[in-house]
Structure 1
Amino acid sequence: MESAMKNKDLNTTRKWASLASLIFGAGTIYKLGFLKDAFYVPMQQFMNLSHTQIGLAMSVAGFISTFGFLASIYLSDRFSKKIMIPISLIGTGAVGLLLSTLPSFTYFLIAYCLLAIFADMLFWPIMLKTVRLLGNKSEQGRMFGLLEAGRGLVDTVVAFGALGIFGYLGSNANGLKGAILFFSAVPIIIGVVSYFLLDHDKVSEVNSKGERVGKNKVAFEGMTRAVKNKYIWFVAFNVFFVYSAYCGITYFTPFLEEIYGLPLVLLGAYGIIKQYGLKMLGGPVGGYLTDKVLKSATKFLKIAFLLTAIVMLIYMNLPHESLNLYFGMFLTLVVGAFIFSMRAVFFAPMEEIKVPREITGSAMSLGSLIGYLPGAFLYTVYGNILDTHPGMAGYKIIFSMMTGFAILGFLLSSYLLKSIRNMDSDQAA
């Protein structure tokens, strides 16, 4: 009895230690790929990059990420997380060492292509798979909620750490090198630590029929099973609708500046609250409501989609020219809170649709491929709308599209929830 208790405590400790390593990895692995978030102007000044060159590098990286997710449908169930996650983190850090030399555009472009491979193809779907497998059915919301909140906190701390180094070294080329080296060292250290915290996956050589066919065929069969599972596609498009609305909240910031005349200092504070504060708040809240109150991520998404659509419909029809500034700002944060809480748990329904655990990696890869697709084109669409429809007219179109995505998400979540109930009834019969 005592031995069993010790083993249980040890397993619990390893579970939370593993989750912590994933949170630190997820909170740092994208800092180099999104160097522009904190160092856009220094990149132009000290790396001699134009707007077009930075945009081209981001676009090419996004293109590679799409195919990376496609390849990961096979890779994520073929190789162990104990190997893949450390390799992706250490590889990302190694690419950062190249970037720290402030290379020419050609090498800058190559570096961004490599970052897309390490972060999106080798890390992200496998990290999502690992988070799902760390928790049982009643812990999915909590696990994914803690992941979202934790990586938001790590993201913030690491970003401010790099900014501190940049300023301390003189806000010049050496400062940029120092910041990039910091962004490189952190994932390398986390990659080494994660190797010791993560357990090996047992990669099966037996297919679903019990035949011994080898690891490659088993992984290929798992990929095929995931692609043929219509419920995985439903979950993936639920992610798609959340992410489409998420892309839209980017434009709350210029909206408040242009329409409300929000001062730059307040605008900066608003941006930090919207991007980091809501992420840290939305994760735990979404996870708690999913696991403890509604006991269903799909039900939570259905309600949150509906609330998002209602608030957006109200917001887009308010008299903004005469509306109180702080009330208008508050409503955008309410919408952001709904969307960040959905982002925290939008992969949790994989447990509800009873995806076999042995094909979790393939399912998460397919979900990532479809779900994150809006990031590859929707910012361009939204930006073009604002360029061709200046002022309130353009923002109303974007807000209408966000509302439409929320309504589509509500309808899909409703259908998926009904399908899950039917599956549960069939199993109970």
Structure 2
Amino acid sequence: MSDVRRRLSYLLLCTSGGVIFQVAYIRFVFLEPTYQALGLSGPEYGDIMSVFGAVAAVMYFAGGWFADRFAPRALVATALTITGLADLALIAVPGYATALLAHVVMAFAGMALYWPALVRAIGSFGSSAQQGRLFGFLEAIRGVTSTVISGIAALLIGTALAPATGVRALIGTYGVLCLVLAGLIWLALRGPADGIASGERSALSVRDLAAAARNKYTWLLGGSIMLMYCFYTTLGYFSPLLQHEFGVTAAMIGVLGVVRSYVFQFVAGPLGGFCVDKVTRSTPRFLRLAFVAAAVCVVVLLFLPRESGLKWVAVALMFALSLVVFASRGVYWASMTEARIPEHQRGGVIGLASGLAYLPDAFLPGLVARWIGDPGTGTAAQGGYGILFGVLAGAAVLGIALTTLTLRVQRHEPDAGPQPRPAAVR
């Protein structure tokens, strides 16, 4: 593969990472306009997102099987094509049945086909000494792509007479981009990324998972990540709070959503890594501080009077929480290496811990949608944001306890402690 073709292939792969998941997670920026555009109520959309999260968690384990048997080029192009068609189906035939089926299909394409193949393809572009840069630029390009497209969309949707119409146009744009990128990657990607790996197994066996279930770090580290992920998966539901209870305009909500979801993605991650390396010198210790900061943010939001004069205080608290969440997201898998889990057990521990870590996606969206209700369809709130912030405060307290316990366990193991960490890839 020529150097120009190699760079183009790498750029296309990274760009695809900033496009393929956007419709599935569009609620992080455009929550209400999205479920209105799809002809759904807030609780219905929440239920669909919970189904998506549950299917995605299962597909994580299936991904290794596909990655072991098919070339990354074929898997990436196929996943992009399937996702693009699902995106277009959402706007062609809106409604509950279409939205549910499309999100199940997107979970399969994204988690089972695309993500393991992308990781393998990106890794094939350099030696072991270059992996940090390869995956670091992957995350940066994904963040920039998402920020640019969603930023332009936020300005257009915020000023449109019918925001739902703007969201439908955005979903269609993402669908077309997926199809175009599928074709370009199929034509451009060659070399090691076009072959099936030999001698390297990704799929997890029942024996691997059974051994992982007996490893204490599966539950300590996976549980800690799960509790922090509760904050991440509910960030999108802060938009209705700001709009309906603090009086932030619809146009500003879109801009704030882009900053919260994408700008922090490539700003806070490196900051978290720097803090772990230079300040705390321990990922569990950093996560414990992050849980303390997150608890402070949600407790203040819980008791903050719902007045328009305090809207920028609420925005500042949301941004502070986003900074904490994305800084943690950039480093929390480094705990696996710090624990010095034996290499032959690491795949099983990461696999089972991942299923635990991303479990909130399978139930929190549906619950939160019912807690806060949907004013547009007259669905009454069932506890409102008081329950949400109370649950998040409880998650923070449990997170502090788990990270403290992890530190104590590590202190009693002579082989535990920090060591060089691989780049996080998710």
Q: Which residue of 1 aligns with 2:177?
A: 182
Aligned equivalent of 2:58, options 54, 59, 67: 67
Partner of 1:203: 199
Counterpart Cα distance in 2 of 1:145 and 1:130: 14
Aligned-residue offset at 1:91: 1.5
Q: Which moved more, 1:307-316 or 1:26-35?
A: 26-35
1:90 maps to amino acid: A
Contact 2:227 2:398 in 1 (8 A): yes
Which of 357, 382, 400 matches 2:390?
A: 400
CA positional deviation for 1:130: 8.9
Offset of 1:237 from its aligned partner?
1.3
Selected match of 2:298 from 306, 312, 337: 312
Distance change >3 Å, CA 298–CA 111, structure 1 → 2: same
Aligned residue for 2:321, secondary structure, equals: helix
Question: What is the aligned counterpart of 2:227 among 241, 244, 250?
Answer: 241
- Deviation of the 1:380 alpha carbon: 1.7
Q: Structure 1 residues 186, 296: closer, same or farther in 2, change over 3 A?
A: farther
Q: 1:266 to 1:28 in 2, by over 3 A?
A: closer
**Residue of structure 1 equivalent to 2:40:** 51
> Does the CA contact (< 8 Å) of 1:245 and 1:402 recur in 2?
yes
Query: Residue deviations 1:173-227, cap 9 Å, x none?
Result: 999756522122225545765664659755359xxxxxxxxx98x9554343333
RMSD: 4.6
2:107 aligns to what? 116
Amino acid in the other structure paired with 1:93: L
Distance 1:244 1:328 in 2: 19
| CA-CA distance at 1:231 after TM superposition | 0.6
Taking structure 2 as the reference length, the TM-score comes to 0.73
Cα distance change of structure 1 residues 415 and 175 upon mapping to structure 2, 3 Å threshold:
closer
Q: Which residue matches 1:298?
A: 284
The residue that corresponds to 2:73 in the other structure is 86
Q: State whether residues 54 and 359 of structure 2, in contact with CA within 8 Å, keep that contact through their aligned partners in structure 1.
A: no
CA distance, structure 2, for counterparts of residue 384 and residue 40 of structure 1: 14
Who is 1:331 aligned against? 317
1:254 lines up with 2:249 in the alignment:
no
1:26 matched to 2:17? The reply is: yes
Superposed CA deviations along residues 265-285 of structure 1, whole A, max 9, x for unmatched, are 332322222122222221111
Percent sequence identity is: 24
Change (3 A) 1:396 1:89: same
Q: Would you say 1:347 and 2:333 are equivalent positions?
A: yes
Out of 88, 98, 102, the residue aligned to residue 85 of structure 2 is: 98
Counterpart-to-counterpart distance in 1, 2:153 and 2:254: 18
- Which letter maps to 1:414? T
User: Normalising by structure 1, what TM-score?
Assistant: 0.72
CA contact (8 A) 1:313 1:403 kept: yes
The match for 1:210 is none
Larger radius of gyration between Structure 1 and Structure 2: 1
- Asked if residue 424 in structure 1 is aligned to residue 414 in structure 2, the reply is yes
- Deviation of the 1:84 alpha carbon: 5.8
1:310-356 deviations in whole A, cap 9, x for unaligned? Answer: 23323423444386332332122111111111122222211112234
Moved more, 366-375 or 419-428: 419-428
- For 2:123 and 2:411, the matched residues in 1 are separated by 21
Return the offset for 1:40.
Answer: 8.7
Please state whether the residue corresponding to 1:29 is helix, strand or coil: coil
Q: Give the direction of change, closer, same or farther, for the CA distance of 1:121–1:97 in structure 2 (3 Å limit).
A: closer
The letter of the residue matching 1:51 is L
> Whole-Å Cα distance in 2 between the matches of residues 404 and 155 of structure 1?
32
Asked if 2 retains the 8 angstrom alpha-carbon contact of 1:70 and 1:365, the reply is yes
Give the structure 2 partner of residue 374 of structure 1.
Answer: 360
Contact 2:410 2:417 in 1 (8 A): no
Matched, 1:281 2:267: yes
Once the two structures are TM-superposed, the CA of residue 286 in structure 1 deviates from its matched residue by 1.2
* Match 1:224 to one of 182, 186, 210: 210
| In structure 2, C-alpha distance between the alignment counterparts of 1:244 and 1:195, rounded to whole Å | 39
The answer for unaligned runs of 5 or more in structure 1 is: 1-9, 206-214
Distance 1:135 1:413 in 2: 34
Give the equivalent residue in structure 1 for 2:144: 153
Name the CA distance, whole Å, in 2 between partners of 1:364 and 1:129.
16
